[in-house]
């Protein structure tokens, strides 16, 4: 489904949010400064204790409508992505309709299919975040089942209210039947308290299956939440935070280790309006593993404008306010949570698309945020067109980056043929730091300053380095050998 946004919907959401939330105040540094200091203690970690820098795609929008709930994405497609871009992360779409096709019945065959795909990623060294996806609540909002996705039909209560045909899919959100379906899910009607119970238990069933799977590192609890008739702070601080807490508690009954990722209301917050999401307690033994997974869709680009002229000015302003809001919630509300940019994207044929991609990836790097681009589906939004031709996204993503750092990253930057990484070495982490180096910039031997080389695999393009246990702050520079 092509991502476009409707001005009336986004502006309405922004006004609702803005009316109830003061501008987020933050002592965090602004974009352009050495802001990665803020995120130095806020990274997902692997089993070896290394800080993970995650780069990858959402896979995939096609999963929303396929009968088996699987994306139209093959193991060969993954091989090409891995070879062309060196990605190490995927936000893999799953759905409530597929997990729980009938009340209280969890489809193990579906979870088997998910596990098979997770295995593809495991063999190639990826980390996976499972995303319980929804748009417009459910495919059952229209008779043809082709408009929405997410909830099973048995959990879709519209109380006879209409859903009229719309030219743009986002406008279905303001149809009476869709609003009522959400209201019944969140139980603002007082009629269906059982629906959130089912959703929570569906997540528990997923977590129970993947609790011991080292490749699955995180659960994204709900894609782009929408409150129906309840919007803004009343929704985010109320039913949304409550559902996240209940789901986290249920997951921790079966899985103590995976990260739980929470997202704000999409409309408004995706465009830079502050979020009113509440604190989520983590009942696991040990340090909290709650992550923050917002999306970024500046309104000018979502309406089809390019990143140039006045559209660029407005987009840059959105990115600045978005960053301040996201860092405030992650650092203060969620008590130092790492950030994963769960979605951002645009039509790569638009004017200024390359500059926009570079800007967002740079901002994410400076924030210490992981990135899952929307999406790996073929077309002008993705890395490949329908005929397999590369878009500009391939070369944009295919840059050197540290994948797993034996300590806390302070800052890093890269060009096509150079990587500079500064981190605070953690002597308790015995695994080496792992760095991806693309073939185009590093065709032969490499030169490393600031650390000892453990290994260099020119096939996988992975360099591993190690610092002395007492090294303290370390700066590593990697270039092609002279």
Interval 83-104: pLDDT, tens: 999 999 999 999 999 999 999 9
Average pLDDT over residues 178-189: 98
Q: Is the pLDDT of residue 39 over 90?
A: no
Domain boundary among 398, 425, 448: 398
Domain boundary among 360, 381, 398: 398
Whether residue 186 sits in one domain with residue 127 = yes
* Between residues 57 and 14, the one the model is more confident about: 57
320: domain CATH number? Answer: 3.20.20.80
Average pLDDT over residues 418-444: 97
Residue 191 in any domain: the answer is yes
The helices-and-strands tally (H runs, E runs) of the chain is 12, 17
Whether residue 378 sits in one domain with residue 276 = yes
Average pLDDT over residues 452-481: 97
Range of the domain at 410: 400-482
467: domain CATH number? Answer: 2.60.40.1180
Whether residue 429 sits in one domain with residue 382 = no
Per-residue model confidence (pLDDT) at position 170: 93
The rounded distance, in Å, linking the Cα atoms of 19 and 35 is 29
Residue 228 in any domain: the answer is yes
Residue 265 in any domain: the answer is yes
Q: Is the pLDDT of residue 282 over 50?
A: yes
Q: Is the pLDDT of residue 211 over 70?
A: yes
Q: For residue range 364-413, what is the model confidence (pLDDT) as tens digits?
A: 999 999 999 999 999 999 999 999 999 999 999 999 999 999 999 999 99
Average pLDDT over residues 58-84: 98
Whether residue 312 sits in one domain with residue 421 = no
The CB density around residue 288, as the number of other CB atoms within 10 Å, is 16
Instruction: Please state, for a pLDDT cut of 70, what percent of the chain lies above it.
Output: 91
Average pLDDT over residues 298-323: 96
Whether residue 459 sits in one domain with residue 333 = no
Per-residue model confidence (pLDDT) at position 482: 87
Whether residue 224 sits in one domain with residue 181 = yes
317-328 burial string, b = 16+ CB within 10 Å, else e?
Answer: ebbeebbbbbbb
The rounded distance, in Å, linking the Cα atoms of 59 and 48 is 26
Confidence category of residue 143, pLDDT binned at 50, 70, 90: very high
Residue 2 in any domain: the answer is no
Whether residue 242 sits in one domain with residue 278 = yes
User: What mean pLDDT, rounded, does the chain reach?
Assistant: 92
Q: Which of 259, 256, 303, 310 is nearest to 284 (CA)?
A: 256
Kindly give the pairing relationship between strand 370-373 and strand 401-405: unpaired
Average pLDDT over residues 277-294: 97
Instruction: Please state, for a pLDDT cut of 90, what percent of the chain lies above it.
Output: 91
Cα 181 to its chain centre, rounded Å, is 25
Per-residue model confidence (pLDDT) at position 69: 98
Residue 219 in any domain: the answer is yes
Residue 423 in any domain: the answer is yes
What's the Cα-to-Cα distance from 191 to each of 69, 182, 185, 269, 278, rounded to whole Å? 29, 12, 9, 29, 25
Average pLDDT over residues 158-162: 98
Whether residue 371 sits in one domain with residue 462 = no
Whether residue 479 sits in one domain with residue 334 = no
Per-residue model confidence (pLDDT) at position 41: 53
Whether residue 342 sits in one domain with residue 197 = yes
Kindly give the pairing relationship between strand 55-59 and strand 370-373: parallel
CB 131 within 8 A of CB 92: yes
Whether residue 420 sits in one domain with residue 377 = no
Whether residue 329 sits in one domain with residue 305 = yes
Domain boundary among 342, 376, 398: 398
Q: Is the pLDDT of residue 415 over 50?
A: yes
Residue 1 in any domain: the answer is no
Residue 300 in any domain: the answer is yes
The rounded distance, in Å, linking the Cα atoms of 445 and 481 is 5
Number of domains in the chain: 2
Helices (H), 21-70: none
């Amino acid at each position: 489904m092509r991502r476009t946004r409707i001005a009336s919907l986004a502006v309405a959401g922004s006004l609702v949010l803005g009316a109830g939330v003061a501008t987020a105040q933050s002592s965090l540094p602004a974009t352009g400064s050495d802001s990665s200091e803020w995120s130095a203690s806020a990274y997902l970690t692997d089993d070896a204790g290394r800080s993970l820098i995650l780069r990858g795609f959402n896979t995939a929008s096609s999963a929303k409508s396929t009968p088996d709930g699987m994306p139209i994405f093959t193991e060969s497609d993954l091989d090409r992505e891995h070879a062309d871009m060196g990605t190490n992360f995927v936000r893999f779409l799953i759905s409530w309709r597929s997990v729980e096709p009938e009340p209280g019945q969890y489809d193990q065959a579906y979870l088997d299919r998910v596990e098979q795909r997770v295995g593809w990623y495991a063999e190639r060294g990826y980390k996976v975040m499972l995303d319980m996806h929804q748009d417009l609540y459910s495919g059952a909002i229209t008779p043809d089942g082709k408009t929405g996705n997410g909830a099973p039909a048995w959990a879709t209560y519209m109380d006879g209210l209409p859903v009229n045909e719309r030219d743009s899919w986002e406008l279905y959100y303001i149809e009476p039947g869709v609003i009522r379906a959400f209201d019944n899910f969140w139980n603002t009607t007082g009629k269906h308290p059982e629906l959130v119970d089912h959703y929570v238990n569906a997540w528990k069933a997923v977590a129970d299956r993947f609790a011991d799977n080292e490749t699955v590192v995180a659960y994204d609890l709900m894609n782009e939440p929408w409150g129906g008739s309840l919007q803004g702070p009343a929704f985010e601080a109320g039913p949304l935070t409550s559902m996240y807490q209940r789901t986290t508690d249920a997951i921790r009954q079966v899985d103590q280790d995976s990260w739980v990722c929470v997202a704000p209301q999409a409309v408004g917050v995706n465009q830079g309006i502050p979020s009113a999401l509440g604190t989520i307690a983590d009942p696991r033994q040990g340090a909290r593993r709650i992550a923050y997974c917002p999306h970024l869709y500046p309104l000018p680009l979502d309406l089809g404008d390019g990143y140039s002229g006045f559209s660029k000015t407005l987009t840059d302003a959105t990115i600045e306010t978005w960053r301040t809001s996201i860092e405030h919630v992650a650092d203060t509300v969620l008590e130092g949570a790492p950030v994963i940019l769960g979605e951002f994207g645009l039509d790569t044929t638009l004017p200024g698309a390359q500059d926009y991609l570079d800007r967002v990836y740079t901002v994410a790097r400076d924030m210490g945020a992981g990135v899952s681009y929307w999406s790996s589906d073929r077309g002008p939004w993705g890395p490949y067109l329908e005929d397999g031709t590369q878009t500009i996204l391939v070369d944009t993503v295919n840059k050197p980056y540290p994948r797993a750092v034996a300590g806390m990253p302070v800052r890093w930057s890269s060009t096509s043929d150079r990587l500079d990484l500064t981190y605070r070495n953690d002597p308790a982490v015995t695994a080496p730091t792992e760095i991806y180096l693309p073939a185009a910039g590093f065709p032969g031997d490499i030169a490393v300053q600031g650390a000892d080389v453990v290994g260099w695999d020119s096939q996988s393009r992975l360099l591993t380095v190690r610092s002395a246990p007492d090294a303290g702050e370390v700066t590593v520079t990697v270039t092609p050998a002279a």
